[in-house]
Amino acid sequence: MTHLHSPGRMTVLAALLAALAAPVFAAPGGVVISQVYGGGGNSGATYKNDYIELLNTGDTAVTLTNWSVQYASATGTSWQVTKLPASVTLAAGQYYLVHEALGSGGTDALTPDATGTIPMSATAGKVALVNSITALAGGKPVDNVVDLVGFGTTAGYYEGSGATPAPSNTLAVIRKNNGCLDSNDNSSDFVTGAASPRTTASERVSCSGGPLPQPIVLACPGSVGIDVGTGTTAPLQASDADSLVDKAAISKGAVSGISLTGFTPATADNRTATATLVVDASLPAGTYPVEITFGNDASQTASCTVNVAVSGLVKIPQIQGSGLASPYVNTVQTTSGVVTKKLGSGFTIQDPQGDGDPDTSDAIFVFGASTAAAVKEGDLVRVTGTVTEFTPNGAKRSYTELKDVSAATVLGSGNTIQPVNIDLPTELSHYEGMLVRFTSPLTVNGNSYLGDRGELVLANGRRETPTNRYRAGTLDANALIAANAQNMVVLDDGIFTVPPHIPYLAVDKTVRAGDTVTDLVGVLDFGAIGGGGGWYKLQPTETPVFSRTNAREDAPTVVAGNVRVASANVLNFFTTFTDGTDAWGRTGQGCTIGSSAPSRSNCRGADNLAEFNRQRDKIVNELKAMNADAVGLMEIQNNGDITVSYLVDALNQAIGAPTPTYAYVAKPAATGTDAIRVAMIYKPAVLTPVGGALSDGDAVNNRPPMAQTFKVNANGAKFSLIVNHLKSKGSCGGAGAGDTDSGDGQGCWTATRVLQAKRLFTYFIPTVVAAAGDPDVLAVGDFNAYGHEDPIAYLTDNGMVNELERFVRPNGTPYSYVFDGQSGYLDHALASSALDPQVAGVTEWHNNADEPDAIDYNLGDTADDPYVNNPFRASDHDPVVVSLNLAPAYADVTASVKIVPGTLGYNRVTGKFSGNVTFTNTSGAALSGPLQYVLQGLPAGVTLDNKSGAFNGAPYVTLPGTTLAPGAAVTVALTFTNPSKTSITFTSKLYSGTF
């Protein structure tokens, strides 16, 4: 640093001690801290902010690239940083002011060169000028410190023998001699004085006493104004009395269409350099601040800003452009058009002529409710505003709008715009904001947000979930993803709040997915949609007219068999409610998850008894209409058999038969750790359980599958029903490798669902088959996987038969669930290869998935209550109904044999009657065994001692041998107990098979 005077006489010892006590910093180029003030905004202060002032004490310019000023408390070790702007250049003798934290007092605001937010002490602290932007460390840092000021008597770090005198709320510490004195001793270099901040605009000072380098003098126009499409040039000049101006460039605000050309450097000191700013005719309308920086051979620079203003009317199609974003984004433009639709947050205008280009929209949305209040539909208006791209949260594309409207002038009224005819699929961005007519009927694909948003998802036909038809990640699946994206528009109701009445419902209080709307006319808006993200939304200008093209079925229709099996997701059917009450009126109740204590926060489904009664009635209506002999249930409360027992009682009461029609299968050993479980109900008159229910409590199954083997009462056939509820696609928190959402359409937890499918096939199904002694297995339930996703593919690749693909796909898209405006089936019917030939038919009853959420059992979710006590929207999943034609376990072959009873004899010793019966195969084919001889109608008191068992109350004897060849005969002995010695008569029957 430059030393203007000696620090004074010291003894050798004193000098040594001083050198050991405090550091000496040399500032390259002579930049020092010239003033520090920490009382800004305090009581009695003049200035509102603290500040730090710098001074270039050298004779040449210094560039402070990546420098900072930093502050720590008097004894602190943590440093706060204010980064200086990139490449700050200080001319010789030039000051530089950095203002810091704003206080609550003071009267005068600073006009700084740079700003920070550090709150500094008014009385003591440490300030460093650092040639780095990294925070210093420790109480006495050395590395990268250019200059240091310890101010106030308690400062623990300073240059030289001591800190500066103590400042205050009104006093700053000021380096002597206008900031030039630098003896590397804070105590002698600084004095206190009234705060007097200086900036780069302040008069420079020569610390060496010699002349200061002269600055570059610029001659630039402050602004250039032209009409759009014209272009212009502007001359620029720069000179320097003691240096050569030899360079120029656009330093800020460079845009396509503005350039700097024809630079001619100065040929000598005090000569002029020239350049030309060129504005091209292609520059869109708007304001463009352009900074031009000139430099000289003495490393000095000077900059000027020219504000280029391009004004004029730009047509809406030009603003829109042919891409997804406007080429005029973030510029101010003026355009005109006819108001076609007023909406809550603004209005749309459309160019009456358009440009004839199918790739550019002729309309634009003008954002601003206050502006909309001044216009009406049919007005021709001229609007000036900033072109912006609006992107709703989660949307994958944006919507071109005008915002920050500065002018909206009505030029005329009573104008009309004819709708443009379009069809789906198409790229809707080409029509955004336009008045359009869909010339082909559109099909309702989603109605989940009808009640709370007034929205319906529409498409040309029904959109199928890609992984419902194809394997995830295949070319076919990706092609369907792309096709579906082009085949969707959301019909809105023109209201951006919860609608006061649910729109678009028919007289039966529904509008179903699959219904159609014809000749739909409206303005193509864009905005947030139900479920998140954003898409194109038609705001109708004519009342939409819907047709019930997807009629309700009062009950499912399926080919007849001898056993009907169904699968039904009952959507969180709980007898304990979220308000802490239950179906029996008790209070203080709760639900459990795993081993947790009961809590009402664990409950799902109905919030209270009123909602529960509505939910129960819909589910009972559904089960009654299905009339299945066995039903697998998902999403029923996991509280033992309490809730399933309640449901069976309610169902039997609704049926009203003299004896109960349904019974429930007692829960298996493991029902899982979730608040919900799977369950099973059946008709005892049709089916008899064989053994108890089985389940698989392996750790992979948080909702274990449940199996029950049944025997058909009418023919003795057996089959096993397995109810499943695999891991959900949502709630992705904690998902690990293979379970995160890969974006292939399968959602989260795919790897876990595959493990569950493998466990089902490799362990549980074999366990069930072994216990049943029968290979006929039907696996049903909510697999949370669409038709061709990985878990289902694993099962079908290994031999399970997808009965929905077999029976439903040939006649249309199989689906049981509607999500994001796409349809697919999560609910499956998978048969073992042994059972598959005995499946007579399968159907899905679309009483739930096609119906809007708004008509379900919940109360208070919508302004209207369209609930009807019927089976529709009993759940969000459709039930699956399977008709089985099970081969009997036995067959009557009496007509194939000649039965010749022998004479009965009486044994006086034993008191028994005995005799033989001979069977001769009179048919032309062998009779397969085992063969069972049934003696029907024995007199009361007569018993067959050597019976093998009983069939329908009659004793039977199993004939020896496994088969009876044509013409062959077999004889069996009979022994009777007949205490009354009555005449022994009976009817003979022979059966092939096992009872």
Domain boundary among 254, 285, 311: 311
Closest alpha carbon to 163 in 172, 150, 175, 173 = 150
For the cut 90, the answer to whether the pLDDT of residue 837 exceeds it is: yes
The 10s digit of each residue's pLDDT in 89-104 is 898 999 999 999 999 9
Supply the pLDDT for residue 298: 87
- What is the DSSP code (8-state) at residue 107? S
For the cut 50, the answer to whether the pLDDT of residue 889 exceeds it is: yes
Whether 659 contacts 684, CB under 8 Å: no
* Burial profile 78-113: b = 16 or more Cβ within 10 angstroms, e = fewer: ebbbbebeeebbbbbbbbbbbbbbbbeebeeebebb
Mean pLDDT confidence for 949-955: 94
Strand order of the β-sheet with 68-72 is 80-83, 68-72, 125-130, 145-151
Supply the pLDDT for residue 497: 85
Q: Do residue 300 and residue 325 come from a single domain?
A: no
Q: Do residue 807 and residue 915 come from a single domain?
A: no
Mean pLDDT confidence for 807-832: 98
Look up the CATH number of the domain holding residue 836. Answer: 3.60.10.10
As to burial, measured by CB atoms within 10 angstroms (0-12 exposed, 13-18 middle, 19+ buried), residue 768 is buried
Look up the CATH number of the domain holding residue 906. Answer: 2.60.40.290
Whether 2 contacts 182, CB under 8 Å: yes
For the cut 60, the answer to whether the pLDDT of residue 10 exceeds it is: no
For the cut 80, the answer to whether the pLDDT of residue 682 exceeds it is: yes
For the cut 90, the answer to whether the pLDDT of residue 600 exceeds it is: yes
d(CA 844, CA 724): 17
State the total domains in the chain: 6
Q: Do residue 764 and residue 638 come from a single domain?
A: yes
Whether 205 contacts 211, CB under 8 Å: no
Supply the pLDDT for residue 22: 54
Mean pLDDT confidence for 400-405: 93
Look up the CATH number of the domain holding residue 59. Answer: 2.60.40.1260
Supply the pLDDT for residue 724: 98
Tokens 């013409």 sit on residue: 967
Q: Do residue 701 and residue 806 come from a single domain?
A: yes
Give a three-class secondary structure readout of 642-670: HHHHHHHHHHHHHHCCCCCCCEECCCCCC
Q: Does residue 366 lie in a domain region?
A: yes
Cis (ω within 30 of 0) for the bond into 425?
yes
Q: Does residue 408 lie in a domain region?
A: yes
d(CA 995, CA 988): 16
Q: Does residue 4 lie in a domain region?
A: no
Q: Do residue 736 and residue 593 come from a single domain?
A: yes
d(CA 580, CA 564): 38
Whether 193 contacts 176, CB under 8 Å: no
Closest alpha carbon to 577 in 300, 857, 357, 269 = 857
Supply the pLDDT for residue 20: 41
Percentage of the chain beyond pLDDT 70 is 97
Q: Does residue 206 lie in a domain region?
A: no
Supply the pLDDT for residue 29: 53
For the cut 80, the answer to whether the pLDDT of residue 27 exceeds it is: no
Confidence of residue 586 (pLDDT cuts 50, 70, 90): very high
Pairing of strands 489-491, 534-540: parallel
Supply the pLDDT for residue 37: 98
Q: Do residue 633 and residue 678 come from a single domain?
A: yes
Sign for the CA dihedral angle at 825, 831, 837, 841 comes to negative
Q: Do residue 743 and residue 831 come from a single domain?
A: yes
For the cut 90, the answer to whether the pLDDT of residue 767 exceeds it is: yes
Q: Do residue 42 and residue 74 come from a single domain?
A: yes
Check residues 720 and 407 and name the one with the higher pLDDT.
Answer: 720
Q: Do residue 127 and residue 38 come from a single domain?
A: yes
Q: Do residue 501 and residue 577 come from a single domain?
A: no
d(CA 459, CA 442): 5
Mean pLDDT confidence for 482-499: 94
Mean pLDDT confidence for 292-306: 92
Q: Does residue 330 lie in a domain region?
A: yes
Confidence of residue 371 (pLDDT cuts 50, 70, 90): confident
Tokens 């044509």 sit on residue: 966
Supply the pLDDT for residue 3: 32
Q: Do residue 228 and residue 326 come from a single domain?
A: no
Domain boundary among 547, 573, 599: 547
Residues of the domain holding 258: 216-311
Tokens 């989940």 sit on residue: 448
Closest alpha carbon to 194 in 319, 345, 37, 344 = 37
Mean pLDDT confidence for 172-192: 96
DSSP track, 795-827: HHHTT-EEHHHHHTGGGS---SEEETTEEE--E
For the cut 80, the answer to whether the pLDDT of residue 18 exceeds it is: no
Confidence of residue 209 (pLDDT cuts 50, 70, 90): confident
Closest alpha carbon to 82 in 107, 64, 95 = 64
- What is the DSSP code (8-state) at residue 763? I
Confidence of residue 1 (pLDDT cuts 50, 70, 90): very low
Check residues 51 and 733 and name the one with the higher pLDDT.
Answer: 51
Average pLDDT taken over every residue of the chain: 93
For the cut 60, the answer to whether the pLDDT of residue 2 exceeds it is: no
As to burial, measured by CB atoms within 10 angstroms (0-12 exposed, 13-18 middle, 19+ buried), residue 860 is exposed
Mean pLDDT confidence for 351-358: 93
Supply the pLDDT for residue 16: 38
Closest alpha carbon to 722 in 676, 782, 673, 675 = 782
Sign for the CA dihedral angle at 669, 674, 675, 680 comes to negative
Sign for the CA dihedral angle at 716, 717, 720, 721 comes to negative
Q: Does residue 199 lie in a domain region?
A: no
Q: Do residue 901 and residue 879 come from a single domain?
A: no
Look up the CATH number of the domain holding residue 289. Answer: 2.60.40.10
Sign for the CA dihedral angle at 901, 903, 904, 909 comes to negative
H-state helical runs in 1-94: 12-21
Q: Where are the beta strands (DSSP E) in 391-467?
A: 399-412, 420-422, 435-438, 442-446, 456-459
Q: Does residue 673 lie in a domain region?
A: yes
Domain boundary among 276, 311, 346: 311
Q: Does residue 989 lie in a domain region?
A: yes
Percentage of the chain beyond pLDDT 90 is 86
As to burial, measured by CB atoms within 10 angstroms (0-12 exposed, 13-18 middle, 19+ buried), residue 662 is buried
Please tell me the total number of residues recorded for the chain in this structure.
995
Distances (CA, A) of 556 to 300, 398, 617, 844, 929: 88, 44, 18, 7, 39
